[in-house]
Structures are given as structure tokens and as C-alpha cells.
Chain A
Amino acid sequence: EHCQQPVVVMLRLVLLMVCVTSALGAHTLVLVDTLATRETHSIFLKSLQERGHEVSVKAADDPSLQLSRYGEYIYQNLVILAPGVEEFGGALSVETIVEFVDGGGSVLVAGSRDAADLIRELVTEVGVEMDEEGAAVIDHLHYDANDDGQHTLIASPSAGLIESEVMVGPRDAVPLLYRGTGLITDADNPLVLPVLRAPSTAYCYNPTQAITDYPHATGQNMLLVAALQARNNARVIVSGSLEFFSDAFIMASVQTPQGAFYERSGNGKVVEALSRWVFMEEGVLRVASVKHHLQGESEPPSAYTIKQDVEYKIKIERLEDGVWKPFLANDLQLEFVRIDPFVRLTMTPHPNGVFSVNFKVPDVYGVYQFKVEYNRVGFTRLFSTTQVSVRPFTHRQYERFIECAYPYYASAFSMMVGVFLFSLVFLHHKDSPPKHKSE
């Protein structure tokens, strides 16, 4: 009976937990070690408020802490600027934070040289490992002039930033100030992104101890800021430095040992861009609509027939300043899949965000899927599949008279005529022999 049903269309949008009012009215919980952090990181917090976040700053061990109430999250974003916290207060724990991420929440975590085990445990859950307690990133070639002699105040070149304007803003040559521990990630983990790599001359070790064994993290394998975009598109940023976000670093000037001087460090812009990214204000895509039908028609048939010409349209939108606007790209591809892709085509973009493509259904029947998968660094994963059936010809759809069969038609009909004539002759000749006999 299902043959008659309208096409079983499966549409999965693995996108969007965030609605149009993304930043507007987003509730953001900021956890701090001491309330003094509110003053030391005021620029960062103020920028959040200016973008429409409802920021509530609380001590990390506040006993009234909770992320959800009656099964619903009261915050969309969580900022943990509390590297020293030994145990979260209230209902908060590593497990609830991981659940929060599973539920689509955004988290920004900042560590430090002396980050507590709790923070280390938390970042391990998102695929990032902080170096040992007490270890700091040291670079004898890239440090700021204000350094105290241990070369732990790194002026990291902006070349270490990930190549994604969506995540870190437009690139310039201004170095970033950083003081804290190094991060190690598993290179095989495809979900973790290296936002800021350490300079190649950097390493991570306790600056007050003699180096006896090889440092865990060295050079470009070490990250200063890492990001995770989970399978559900929840975003997490981990930094090994709390000061990276501080007013002091944002406002500071930078002087490198090589003699270059910059009025302002690059921190301000990068922190702004990163926080926009992590709190789902940037790089968010969604599928607005999917349409497929025969060329020249507007409604999908209950099932396609092999070799038909099909048109597929998908409308994709991008969140810009809280408003969904058409997305433009020229590298979006459509696959027509039955276990393996039978068709893979690049789609033509249109100014209204619609991507379209025309193609001929392959000469193989079965259940196919229109599949659009678009994974680009910094953007949410775009994935849309629509299941359609492709049926073989019905008995009426075959060619009725085939040219090459004409000899056979001719032979059949000539045979029929022959038999008819033969029986005519046979029946009427019967009378003559008896005459001969009688004679």
C-alpha cells in the first residue's frame, strides 16, 4: 500500500538549536574564582552584554548553581573563568556540564598554569589535555618586553591562528599575548580544531625547574586555544590562559624581542571573534527548505522512475547579526546515494540562498537519498538527506514497437497468413482424390 503513499521524505536537519534571536536574550552564566575577575575581565564581559547576552556572574563554588530547571536549560552559554576551583557548587559537576554540551550548550573554559584537577577533567571530556600542573608555555624567541625574565609571557604570532575568518575574525599581523599552560589534543580527533597554535620555538615546562626530561608539549603540536564543535554542533572553547581574556592583555601594547612594537595586542579582536563564534553568533548555517521534483513540475511525484530528469533545490541560510540571511557559496555539492553515490554534482548558487541542480536519475532502481553534506571549518555542519524511491518502468512505459523487432513482427504475421492459406488449400483440395479413385 505504501507504494501509493506520498514519497516517504526524510528530512533531517542536524542544525540549529539556536533560533533567530541568537544572541538577543541569550542567558550566559559566568563562573569565576573570585569576584575580582569581574573587574579584571570587564571588557570581555561588557562586550557580551553589549551583544545582548544576559550575563550573570557567579562564584564557581556558589551552592545555588544550576544549569537546568525542570529539565530545561536556564542558560544557553557557560563561561568558566575559574581555573582554581576545586569543586563546583550547587548542582554543577563535570557530568552536568558534559550533558549541557550534549544538549547543545556552548562552553568557554579558561585554564592556567595552576588549574585545578576539576578543570583538567572537564577539558579532557572535550578532547583537550592540559599539561602538568605548574608547567607554563615558554618561548625564548617570542616573548613580550614586559616579561619577568622567565619568558612565559608569550607574544604569539598571529600566524598560529586557524585560517577561518568566521572563528577568529580578519587576520592581521598583531601578535597575541598569552600566559598559561599548553594544550595537547589528539591529532586523530576530527572534531577538535586548533584555534591558536603555539610558535614553533615554544615548549611547555615548569619555568622554575631544570629540564630533565622531554617536555610533553612542544612547538606547533602544542595549542594555546582549542575549539570543539561536537556532532550536535555544540561549541566549546578551551584556553590554557585565563589572562588571555583579561583587560590587561587586551589593552596591553606588545614589543617583541625582534624589536617590533604594536600599540595594542591582538587579543581584543580575537577574543571578541571567538566569543561570537562559540556563542553561536557566527558561522551558523541552516537548511531552510528542500524541494525536488521533475523538471518542469513543481510537486514531487510519489516515486521517481529511472532515467527521469529531476530538479533539486535547497535553500540555505546563514545567521548574521541575529538575522537569517541567504548563504552564498560555490562549493556545495549534491549526492544521489544508494549505498554509493550514483550522482555527485556541484550546485549552482542563486542570490536568494537557493542552490539548485538538474540531473538525470540513474538507470538503476531502488531507494535513493538526496544528500547534501557541507562541512567547513568554523561553520556548523550542514547535513540534509531526503529519501525517495526510484522505480523501474511500468508495463506501459516501455517502448511499444521497437524498430529492430520489425522482422519478427513480419515473420509472425506472415506465418499466420501462411497457416490460414494452407488450411484453406488443405480443406478444399480434399475433394479431388476420391474422384480419381472412383474413375
Chain B
Amino acid sequence: MSAPVLNYRTRGWLRMSVEKQDTLLKMAVLSLAAILSFSCRLFSVLRFESVIHEFDPYFNYRTTKFLAEEGFYNFHNWFDDRAWYPLGRIIGGTIYPGLMVTSAAIYHILNLVNITIDVRNVCVFLAPLFSSLTTLVTYHLAKELKGPGAGLVAAVMIAIVPGYISRSVAGSYDNEGIAIFCMLLTYYMWIKAVKTGTLFWSTMASLAYFYMVSSWGGYVFLINIIPLHVLTLMITGRFSHRVYVAYSTLYVIGTILSMQISFVGFQPVSTSEHMGAFGVFGLCQIHAFVDYVRSRLNKIQFEVLFRAVISTVAVTGILVLVVLTAMGKIAPWTGRFYSLLDPSYAKNNIPIIASVSEHQPTAWSSFYFDLQMLTFMFPVGLYFCFTKLTDENIFIILYGVLSIYFAGVMVRLMLVLAPVMCILSGIAVSSMLSTYMKQIDDVKTEKKKAKFEGNYFMRSEIATFFVCVMSVFLVMYTLHCTWVTSEAYSSPSIVLSARGHDGSRIIFDDFREAYYWLRHNTPEDAKVMSWWDYGYQITAMANRTILVDNNTWNNTHISRVGQAMASTEDKAYEIMRELDVDYVLVIFGGLTGYSSDDINKFLWMVRIGGSTEKGGHIKEHDYYTPAGEFRVDKEGSPTLLNCLMYKMCYYRFGQVYTEGG
């Protein structure tokens, strides 16, 4: 639509009404932001190739391919005998299918209109596409909270915020890529529903919520924050029929819809994570009923009745909860959730959760790295929200405060924090700029008036200075984001690159080479044992049966593999015979200087291997030197030097010349 406008630009610009100019400007900024968010995620495609990144995306890619080729019912009933040999995995019932369904739908629609595009390319470009959509949703969300100005700033900010880019570059084909869009969409619908109190918007919100549930396990955050919002509104006396309609509709329809995802199943009515939402739903009914009764009774009668009912309900409620939990009807809190509340929980109790680097607590520096100026703008935004408390502002305050806590617990949840940071910063920047811009304008147009209102010293200069400083900040933000995206978040990790002595780029394609070797040189039904990190990639690229993969659902099985890796050769042989292993894959970085190889991960294999009953003989301290060091040279502990992993990694390594000599 911008093309005809450009043609008439010279004459038509001035002729357009103010509203039209306003709309044009907004559209221009918004579409630029959307294009920007798409294009700045393409670094890795330009630098390497159109390739899927990391580990999990390979599984998503493989399942998407299956879905696109075999149809939904086969996908839903898919029993994968290639993974988790010999247990197998019911794929249809253990994944969030939203991502695959989305890509398969796009694939089919494009092919329907004769745009023949490969499934892989759909997968590669899905995350950038959805981040463009996120930009648009963010605009609308912030617009609802503050106004179009805040919306535009927030949209531009989220287009390039590194915390979000890190999970949504081209090729990073993971649930989070679309989940952030779904989350913000649900928030937008929710705020609309709360504002209007109509069934339409609340139903839309539950549909958006369903999409969110179908695509990411992080929906639990969403189904807790919305009830929390309602609860806060109740406590602050803002509960109204609008909120009642919005929440009751959302909870009922949303819960029924979410139970259609077979991986979620009956969790919404049985696990503790969802109990908050259920409790608030009950409270809503009570609150509405109490309001009704209050309007019918006089004050004293009401007081008596109110106290009696409240105390009975509270006591029975707690009793029922305790009894149900004790009987096991309500599942106890799962490990992942405990680690949110108590950062040391996972590390002390569940090695498999602690071993994942993205489950580690966040370092302070990474807040700045991922958010830059947003870290400072966030409190400002909060301040502006507090100055004008509305239902929806309370929501964004809650979201901001909660997510900053969760992001501090787990690196991964930086992703949830980034959007709210952008929205709040958008509100802050927009509010401040509109305040000061006005003052500049004031001074220019009505100089005399300004002189009389001389309360402000050098009002115009300060305003100009402030606007300049803010512009510098924003420019710095842009530069920082581009640099971070280019340097840190655009390497596919399946293809490694390094700088040579002369500054040229060296590409290591060893991973794919190894997987293709397996594909071409091993029997079709060969079983490959490797650490679980490589599971998805082996099934996707080498097409071989694997024992454990990145869907770490069976700790015992992973532990068995850990035991094989950590045992002496003869013990390992027995374990591998038991599991019918034909090949063992280890990643050794000693030659090229690749630091995250299997020796680096080895202590986790020891810990996980020793964490189950059968691995009782594996003790972590046996693998350290008497001085407590983890050494792989001749002074390393004999247990380490004789274990399968070490022997395989350093097999005939002495005969090879490395750069180090």
C-alpha cells in the first residue's frame, strides 16, 4: 500500500489529513519493524546455508517432515521404533504438535498455490516469520496498554532484542520460536477481554491459549499469570463483571481445549501447576455470588454469613487439597517447576535437569548482553504503569515482575522476559519522549508563553539534550543488538566456524560428515550408542536407531548409557550387549580444539550414570585425582583413564600431530 503513496509523495503528502499521515507513519514504522525482525535473523543462512540448528530443531524437523508426508492421524499415532531402543517412543503423545502443524500447514498452503518449497526451508524460515508476527502483536499489546506511540517503540525494540533473537534465528526451528508469538497473542486477547468484558474476546483469548498450549510447555507460565492477574484485581477491589466474564470463559474453554493436546492430557485438572487457575476460577464464582448476596442482604446479616462461609470453605479446601495430594490424585510438583522456585533444587536432586546448560541460573552479565538498555528502561516503564493504574497495567506489572524472577532462575526463561522488557521500555521511552518533545515544540511555537511560565530553567535546551541522549541510547541499542545477533546467536552449532591465523573463516563440518558416514557405512538397522545430546541429530541425519535422545523422558535408560560410558571396557561390553549396541559415537574435540566435546560432558555421564540403582558402583570422586582435579593426562585417576569414554576418545591420539604438537 505504500507504493501509490510514494508516487504522489511530492504533492500528496501535504494534502493528506493528519489522521492519514498518522496511519501512514504507523504502517511504515510497523512494516519496517516487521521486515527488520525477519531480516536480521538471517545472518546464519547467509553465512552458512539454509540449515537446521542445534539439537532439538532436528527432531522438530524430522517430525514435521513426517507430518507433511503422512498426514495428521499417522503423526498422532506415530510410534517411533528408531529412538530409545528398545523402548521406543510414542511421538504423537509426547510432543507439543503446534509447531509441526503450523509448518505443515504453511507447506501445504504454499504448495497448493504452486509455490514449491521444501519442508526444510519452511522450517528454517518459520521462526523469523513468526518473529515478524510477534512484532505486530507487540505493537497491539502495547497500544492497548499505553498508546500507539508506546506500541511502535515496543515493536521496534522487540524486533531486534537479542534475548528473543537467540531462540528465533533462521534455522532455530524450536517450539519457542512460535510460542512467544502465541503468548503475546494470548495476552493481547486477554487484555482486550478484560477491557471489553465480551464473550468474543475471551473466546479469542482461549483459542490463542489453545495455540500456545499446543506449541510449548511454557504455557504453564501463562495459565498461572492470568489467574494471578484476576486474583490481584479481586484483592485490589477491581473485580468486575468484565473480569468475571473474561476469566470464566477463558478458563472453561481454555482448559477443555488444552486437554485435547494428548501430551497435556489430564494435567490441567490434576497437577499442582494448574491448581492456581482452578482455585481462582472457583474464587471468581464465589466473589460474584457474594456480590449478588450482598446486594440482597443488609450489612450485618451479610457480615455473619460471610465469615461463617469463608472459614468453612477455607478449612475444607485445604483439607481436600492435602488429602488428594497424599492419595496421589494430584501429582506432586514436577522437578522442572521446583527448580523455578528453588534454583538449587535441580542441582541437588536431578542431575539430568542440572546437566542442561540452559537450566542454569542466569548470570548478571547476560541480562545486559541480552537486553542492553531495556534493563534500565524496565523500572522506568514500571513507574509509568504505577502512575496510572488500570486493569491492564496491573497485568503488565505482574508479568514483568514475575518473569524477571524466573529469568534469574533459569537462563532459558530470558525468552519470556524479553517481550515484557520491550513493552515496558516502549512505554517508558514513548512516555518520556512525548513529554520532552512537546516541550521542544512548545518553546519553538510559543516562545512568549514559555517565558511567563518560567518555572523551568532552560526548558527547551534540557528537552533537546534529553531527546538527543535518548536517541543515542536507541542507536547504541540497535548497534548492540546487531552485533550480538551477528556474533553470538547466528552460529548453527552443527557447523562450526573459527578464525584462522590470517583472519579467514574456517568451517568445520565434522558433525554432518560423521552422521553421513553412519548413514552410508552402517547397516540399516544398526543401533548407535551415544550421549543423549546427539540423539535427535543421529536419527534425523544418519537415520539410525539410537538408544537415548534429547527427549530425556527415561532417566534409567540414559543412566544405563552413562554407566556404559563410565565403566571399564569389559563392564561396558556387557551393558552394550544387553542393549544390542552395534556402534558407539563419541565426539572428541582434542584435535580441533572444540571445547564442548564428550570429555567435557563426561562428568555428567558419571553423575547421571551413578544416580540409579544399577550404577551404584560409579562414584564421581573416583574420576578425580587425589587432589580433586579432573585431569585427562597421565596423572588423571586410573578409573577415568580406563573407562570406555576415555579409551575411545584418546584411541591412538598419541600418533596424531595437532597444532599444539
Which of A's residues lie within 8 Å of B, judged by CB? 1-4, 8, 10, 303, 338-339, 365-369, 387, 389-392, 394-395
Q: Is the beta-carbon distance between A394 and B77 smaller than 8 angstroms? A: yes
Distance, CA A368 to CA B86, complexed state (A): 7
Within the complex, the shortest CB–CB distance from B134 to chain A, in Å, comes to: 32
Contacts of B90 in A (CB 8 A): 365, 392
**Given A339-B579, A389-B88, are A395 and B525 also a contact pair (CB < 8 Å)?**
no
Q: Is the beta-carbon distance between B86 and A366 smaller than 8 angstroms? A: yes
Pick from A8, A368, A390, A392: contact of B524, CB below 8 A.
A8
Distance, CA A366 to CA B81, complexed state (A): 7
Distance, CA A303 to CA B545, complexed state (A): 16
Contacts of A394 in B (CB 8 A): 77
Interface check B70, CB cutoff 8 A: yes
**Given A1-B66, A2-B82, are A366 and B88 also a contact pair (CB < 8 Å)?**
yes
Interface check B55, CB cutoff 8 A: no
Contacts of A392 in B (CB 8 A): 79, 90
Mask of B33-62 contacts with A, CB within 8 angstroms, 1/0? 000000000000000000000000000000
Interface check B78, CB cutoff 8 A: yes
Pick from B76, B79, B524, B579: contact of A365, CB below 8 A.
B79
Distance, CA A4 to CA B578, complexed state (A): 27
Contacts of B87 in A (CB 8 A): 338, 366-367
Contacts of B543 in A (CB 8 A): 2
CB-nearest residue of chain B relative to A340? B578
Within the complex, the shortest CB–CB distance from A337 to chain B, in Å, comes to: 8
Contacts of B85 in A (CB 8 A): 367
Pick from B65, B76, B79, B524: contact of A303, CB below 8 A.
B79
Within the complex, the shortest CB–CB distance from A12 to chain B, in Å, comes to: 11
Contacts of B78 in A (CB 8 A): 3
Contacts of B510 in A (CB 8 A): none
Q: Is the beta-carbon distance between A3 and B69 smaller than 8 angstroms? A: no
Distance, CA A367 to CA B79, complexed state (A): 10
CB-nearest residue of chain A relative to B87? A366
CB-nearest residue of chain B relative to A397? B77
Q: Is the beta-carbon distance between B70 and A391 smaller than 8 angstroms? A: no
Q: Is the beta-carbon distance between B88 and A365 smaller than 8 angstroms? A: yes
Pick from A4, A8, A303: contact of B70, CB below 8 A.
A4
Q: Is the beta-carbon distance between A339 and B76 smaller than 8 angstroms? A: no
Distance, CA A368 to CA B78, complexed state (A): 17
18 contacts between A and B (CB under 8 A): A1-B65, A1-B69, A2-B82, A3-B74, A3-B78, A10-B525, A303-B79, A303-B81, A339-B86, A339-B578, A366-B81, A366-B86, A366-B87, A367-B81, A367-B85, A391-B79, A391-B81, A395-B73
CB-nearest residue of chain B relative to A4? B70
Contacts of A1 in B (CB 8 A): 65-66, 69-70
Interface check B80, CB cutoff 8 A: yes
Contacts of A338 in B (CB 8 A): 86-87
Instruction: Give me the 9 closest cross-chain CB pairs, A-B, nearest first.
Output: A391-B79, A394-B77, A389-B81, A367-B86, A366-B88, A338-B86, A366-B87, A367-B81, A8-B525
Q: Is the beta-carbon distance between B81 and A3 smaller than 8 angstroms? A: yes
Distance, CA A4 to CA B69, complexed state (A): 11
Q: Is the beta-carbon distance between B70 and A395 smaller than 8 angstroms? A: no
**Considering residues A3, A368, A395, which has the most beta carbons from chain B within 10 angstroms of its beta carbon?**
A3
Give chain B interface residues in 583-629, CB to chain A under 8 Å. none
CB-nearest residue of chain A relative to B76? A395
Distance, CA A369 to CA B545, complexed state (A): 15
Q: Is the beta-carbon distance between A387 and B79 smaller than 8 angstroms? A: no
**How large, as a class, is the contact surface on chain B?**
20 to 34
Contacts of B88 in A (CB 8 A): 365-367, 389-391
**Considering residues A368, A369, A394, which has the most beta carbons from chain B within 10 angstroms of its beta carbon?**
A394
CB-nearest residue of chain A relative to B79? A391
Q: How many A-B residue pairs have CB under 8 A?
A: 56
**Given A339-B86, A367-B88, are A387 and B66 also a contact pair (CB < 8 Å)?**
no
Distance, CA A387 to CA B77, complexed state (A): 21
Within the complex, the shortest CB–CB distance from A371 to chain B, in Å, comes to: 11
Give chain B interface residues in 530-546, CB to chain A under 8 Å. 543, 545
Contacts of B580 in A (CB 8 A): 369
Contacts of A387 in B (CB 8 A): 525
Within the complex, the shortest CB–CB distance from B107 to chain A, in Å, comes to: 16
Pick from B77, B81, B579: contact of A2, CB below 8 A.
B81
Give chain B interface residues in 516-569, CB to chain A under 8 Å. 524-525, 543, 545
CB-nearest residue of chain A relative to B523? A10
Q: Is the beta-carbon distance between A3 and B525 smaller than 8 angstroms? A: no
Give chain B interface residues in 71-116, CB to chain A under 8 Å. 73-74, 76-82, 85-88, 90
CB-nearest residue of chain B relative to A388? B81
Distance, CA A367 to CA B90, complexed state (A): 12
Distance, CA A303 to CA B86, complexed state (A): 14
Distance, CA A109 to CA B136, complexed state (A): 87
Within the complex, the shortest CB–CB distance from B268 to chain A, in Å, comes to: 17
- Known pairs A2-B82, A367-B86 / 15 extra A-B pairs, C-beta < 8 Å: A1-B65, A1-B66, A1-B69, A2-B81, A2-B543, A3-B79, A3-B81, A8-B81, A8-B524, A303-B79, A365-B88, A366-B86, A367-B87, A395-B73, A395-B76
Distance, CA A4 to CA B88, complexed state (A): 15
Within the complex, the shortest CB–CB distance from B93 to chain A, in Å, comes to: 8
Contacts of B81 in A (CB 8 A): 2-3, 8, 303, 366-367, 389, 391
Within the complex, the shortest CB–CB distance from B1 to chain A, in Å, comes to: 44
Contacts of B77 in A (CB 8 A): 394-395
Contacts of A303 in B (CB 8 A): 79, 81
Within the complex, the shortest CB–CB distance from A54 to chain B, in Å, comes to: 37
Contacts of B69 in A (CB 8 A): 1
Contacts of B545 in A (CB 8 A): 367
**Given A339-B578, A339-B579, are A389 and B524 also a contact pair (CB < 8 Å)?**
no
Mask of B309-331 contacts with A, CB within 8 angstroms, 1/0? 00000000000000000000000
Contacts of A369 in B (CB 8 A): 580
Contacts of B70 in A (CB 8 A): 1, 3-4
Within the complex, the shortest CB–CB distance from A390 to chain B, in Å, comes to: 8
Within the complex, the shortest CB–CB distance from B64 to chain A, in Å, comes to: 12
Within the complex, the shortest CB–CB distance from A105 to chain B, in Å, comes to: 26
Distance, CA A389 to CA B70, complexed state (A): 19
Distance, CA A303 to CA B80, complexed state (A): 11
**Considering residues B70, B79, B90, which has the most beta carbons from chain A within 10 angstroms of its beta carbon?**
B79
Q: Is the beta-carbon distance between B76 and A389 smaller than 8 angstroms? A: no
Contacts of A3 in B (CB 8 A): 66, 70, 74, 78-81
Distance, CA A365 to CA B88, complexed state (A): 7
Within the complex, the shortest CB–CB distance from A213 to chain B, in Å, comes to: 35
Q: Is the beta-carbon distance between B525 and A389 smaller than 8 angstroms? A: no
Within the complex, the shortest CB–CB distance from B625 to chain A, in Å, comes to: 36
Contacts of A365 in B (CB 8 A): 79, 88, 90
Distance, CA A387 to CA B526, complexed state (A): 12
Contacts of B74 in A (CB 8 A): 3-4
CB-nearest residue of chain A relative to B578? A339
**Considering residues B78, B86, B580, which has the most beta carbons from chain A within 10 angstroms of its beta carbon?**
B86
Contacts of A4 in B (CB 8 A): 70, 74
Within the complex, the shortest CB–CB distance from B145 to chain A, in Å, comes to: 35
Within the complex, the shortest CB–CB distance from B526 to chain A, in Å, comes to: 10
Contacts of A8 in B (CB 8 A): 81, 524-525
Contacts of B578 in A (CB 8 A): 339
CB-nearest residue of chain A relative to B85? A367
CB-nearest residue of chain A relative to B93? A392
Within the complex, the shortest CB–CB distance from B264 to chain A, in Å, comes to: 15
CB-nearest residue of chain B relative to A8? B525
Within the complex, the shortest CB–CB distance from B402 to chain A, in Å, comes to: 35
Distance, CA A161 to CA B566, complexed state (A): 46
Distance, CA A367 to CA B66, complexed state (A): 20
Within the complex, the shortest CB–CB distance from A188 to chain B, in Å, comes to: 15
Distance, CA A367 to CA B81, complexed state (A): 6
CB-nearest residue of chain B relative to A3? B78
Distance, CA A36 to CA B578, complexed state (A): 54
Within the complex, the shortest CB–CB distance from B576 to chain A, in Å, comes to: 12
Contacts of A390 in B (CB 8 A): 88
Contacts of A339 in B (CB 8 A): 86, 578-579
